[in-house]
Amino acid sequence: MPDKPKKDLPSLPLFTDTFIAETTHLNNKQIGIYIRLLCWSWTKKGKAITHEQANIICQCIDDDCRKEVCKILYEFFLFDKKNNNFTSKRIKQEQDYLNDYYEKKSIAGRKGGLAKRDSANSKSLAHIPIPIPIPTNTLFESFWDNLSTKRGSKKLAEIKYKKE
């Protein structure tokens, strides 16, 4: 099956227990760098990133910041020696999982919609019942028709007729 272009996913799933467990040794600056790189990777659908791009994303202006970015990249991202770039294995896994999930939901919804449409079409071909007329009081009807002067509403007259 050919690869479909991946759609934009609504949000980055952050598993807080895993995140805390894997980042307890990082300081606040390093956590900020890691979050920036994760978010960028998520919005770019897992696209590979170079050292230079990571420094720009993290707004590094000094060597100390560049060292921190390098440390985060080597610790949490996979390095591709051939292309000299990094990719996030976890981001790729989550995007693949969510794309499959949404694709399955879409197929199930399409099947459900087709089933409803088919059942609606089969019902429309069925016999349409003719309503049974409500019986009327034939004595009152003949009485009402024989009146030469009719005062008030027919409904009120029928109620009085039934009382008498």
Q: For 85, list phi and psi in degrees, rounded to 5.
A: -145, 175
**pLDDT 10s digits, 136-147:** 667 888 888 888
Q: How confident is the model at residue 120 (pLDDT cuts 50, 70, 90)?
A: low
Whether residue 126 contacts residue 108, with contact meaning beta carbons closer than 8 Å, is answered with no
Q: Check residues 40 and 128 and name the one with the higher pLDDT.
A: 40
Amino acid of residue 3: D
What domains, with CATH codes, occur in the chain?
10-130 (1.10.10), 134-164 (no CATH)
Q: How confident is the model at residue 68 (pLDDT cuts 50, 70, 90)?
A: very high
Q: For 161, list phi and psi in degrees, rounded to 5.
A: -60, -45
